[in-house]
């Protein structure tokens, strides 16, 4: 339902038009690894591609079905500077069997379009208490000192495990400017925090991100988006050498997405993403010292316009994660089917 408030006539008031809109999504996923699903799902230019690092212990946690409800409510105002749009989006992830992974996110954003060519977007993103899995609690007394032999198996058997959870808060500012007909440049900056539960508080970190995106309308029906992000994160563990658990990093992320409209009612969206995470720890006994992680991910989504207000869509994502300090890789495949309704 769209509700138009006011009229299009120019008045002395700075706010002359207000319009409400709402969009609801319901998506059913199958994932072959619940431990990696959330990170794979958010790996995009518009998402949170550097969601918290996953230790090897946290992957390979089995398959599950996941239901993702989402509601986005927006209000637009025409004003003396152009058009302002404020929207609120709530999103949930409900796991059918492994319910500890269930969580929700909140996004609030405001965009000021000064003209058809220039826009400024501010976004706040909140992801509270995300469960990452059962992980090893670092205890200084159980870590071997430099030059000492590794811990005996009996000591390893008594390592304490605890639920690892993290809360992320991110602010983003993005400027969009059309350079020429059909070509636009977006410049993005982010600053965020990730705060862990008490057992893993040495992983608390602050991070910032900078990156350009280019949107290119190749034809009326084909759009190409290319983007790059540089990000640096600094964790509290860098100043706690006894725990040997510094998750500070430098991240380089590149992405390309292609949108193709065809046969009137169909749209295909395909994407390819690459991410390299270089750990910057200098701590002795920290397994991340000199280590890096790479991620390749491909995805395809097909949308069908059922009617003016309703879309049906289905898609697949596949990612492959590898580290230079471990043999093999961690694959993840997600298959989705969903429905979108606009009001």
pLDDT for 87-107, tens place per residue?
Answer: 999 999 999 999 999 999 999
* Mean pLDDT calculated for residue range 16-20: 72
Range with the largest mean pLDDT of 5-14, 130-139, 293-302:
293-302
User: CA 21, CA 141: separation in Å to the nearest integer?
Assistant: 57
What confidence score (pLDDT) does residue 327 get? 83
User: CA 146, CA 5: separation in Å to the nearest integer?
Assistant: 70
pLDDT greater than 80 at residue 7: no
Q: Percentage of residues in the chain with pLDDT exceeding 70?
A: 89
In 35-182, beta strands by DSSP E: 64-79, 82-95, 103-113, 118-136, 161-180
What confidence score (pLDDT) does residue 13 get? 44
In this structure, are residues 224 and 257 in contact, taking their beta carbons and an 8 Å threshold? yes
Please tell us whether the domain made up of 14-144+157-342 is placed in CATH 2.40.160.40: yes
What confidence score (pLDDT) does residue 51 get? 79
Report how far apart the first and last C-alpha atoms of the chain are (Å, whole number).
Answer: 4
Instruction: Please compute Rg for the chain using Cα positions.
Output: 22
pLDDT greater than 80 at residue 53: no
pTM of the model: 0.88
pLDDT greater than 80 at residue 2: no
* Mean pLDDT calculated for residue range 225-237: 97
65 pLDDT tier (thresholds 50, 70, 90): very high
Dihedral sign of CA atoms 136, 141, 146, 148 in order: negative
* Mean pLDDT calculated for residue range 47-73: 91
* Mean pLDDT calculated for residue range 286-297: 94
What confidence score (pLDDT) does residue 152 get? 47
Write the DSSP string, 263-325: TTTEEEEEEEEEEEEEE----TT-TTTT-EEEEEEEEEEEEEEEETTEEEEEEEEEEEEEETT
Q: Percentage of residues in the chain with pLDDT exceeding 90?
A: 81
pLDDT greater than 80 at residue 179: yes
Mean pLDDT, the chain, rounded, equals 90
pLDDT greater than 70 at residue 290: yes
What confidence score (pLDDT) does residue 17 get? 56
Q: Which helix (H) or strand (E) holds 41?
A: helix 34-41
pLDDT greater than 80 at residue 12: no
* Mean pLDDT calculated for residue range 244-264: 96
What confidence score (pLDDT) does residue 143 get? 52
pLDDT tens digits, 67-79: 999 999 999 999 9
Specify the higher pLDDT residue, 236 or 16: 236
Residues with Cβ within 8 Å of 88's Cβ and at least 6 positions away in sequence, in order, are 72, 73, 74, 106, 107, 108
In this structure, are residues 91 and 46 in contact, taking their beta carbons and an 8 Å threshold? no
User: CA 341, CA 24: separation in Å to the nearest integer?
Assistant: 5
What confidence score (pLDDT) does residue 300 get? 98
* Mean pLDDT calculated for residue range 53-64: 87
Q: 330: buried, middle or exposed (CB in 10 Å: 19+, 13-18, 0-12)? A: buried
User: CA 331, CA 33: separation in Å to the nearest integer?
Assistant: 8
For residue 221, give both structure tokens.
Answer: 């029906």
Q: Are strands 330-342 and 118-136 parallel, antiparallel or unpaired?
A: unpaired
pLDDT greater than 60 at residue 142: no
User: CA 106, CA 110: separation in Å to the nearest integer?
Assistant: 14
328 pLDDT tier (thresholds 50, 70, 90): confident
In 137-265, beta strands by DSSP E: 161-180, 183-196, 205-217, 222-235, 249-262
User: CA 194, CA 201: separation in Å to the nearest integer?
Assistant: 10
User: CA 118, CA 218: separation in Å to the nearest integer?
Assistant: 20
Return the domain boundaries, the chain.
Answer: 14-144+157-342
């Amino acid at each position: 339902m769209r509700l138009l408030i006011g009229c299009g006539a120019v008045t002395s008031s700075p706010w002359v038009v207000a319009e409400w809109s709402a969009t609801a999504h319901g998506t059913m996923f199958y994932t072959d690894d619940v431990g990696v699903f959330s990170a794979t799902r958010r790996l995009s230019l518009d998402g949170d591609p550097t969601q918290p690092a996953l230790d090897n212990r946290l992957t390979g946690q089995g398959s599950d079905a996941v239901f993702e409800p989402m509601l986005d409510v927006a209000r637009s105002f025409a004003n003396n500077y152009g058009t302002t749009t404020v929207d609120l989006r709530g999103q949930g992830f409900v796991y059918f069997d492994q319910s500890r992974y269930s969580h929700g996110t909140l996004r609030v954003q405001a965009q000021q379009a000064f003209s058809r060519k220039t826009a400024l977007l501010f976004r706040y993103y909140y992801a509270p208490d995300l469960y990452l899995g059962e992980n090893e609690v670092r205890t200084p007394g159980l870590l071997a000192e430099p030059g000492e032999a590794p811990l005996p198996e009996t000591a390893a058997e008594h390592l304490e495990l605890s639920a690892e959870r993290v809360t992320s808060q991110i602010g983003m500012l993005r400027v969009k400017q059309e350079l020429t007909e059909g070509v636009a440049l977006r410049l993005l900056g982010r600053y965020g925090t990730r705060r862990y539960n008490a057992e893993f508080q040495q992983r608390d970190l602050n991070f910032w991100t900078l990156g350009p995106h280019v949107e290119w309308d190749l034809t009326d029906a084909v759009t190409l988006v290319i983007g790059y992000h540089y990000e640096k994160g600094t964790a509290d563990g860098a100043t706690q050498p006894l725990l040997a658990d510094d998750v500070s990093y430098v991240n380089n992320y590149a992405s390309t997405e292609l949108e193709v409209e065809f046969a009137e009612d169909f749209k295909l969206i395909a994407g390819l993403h690459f991410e390299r995470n270089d750990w910057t720890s200098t701590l002795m006994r920290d397994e991340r010292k000199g280590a890096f992680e790479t991620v390749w991910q491909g995805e395809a989504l097909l949308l069908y316009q059922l009617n003016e207000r309703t879309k049906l869509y289905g898609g697949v994502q596949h990612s492959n994660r590898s580290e230079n300090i471990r043999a093999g890789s961690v694959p993840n495949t997600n298959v989705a089917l969903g429905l979108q309704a606009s009001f």
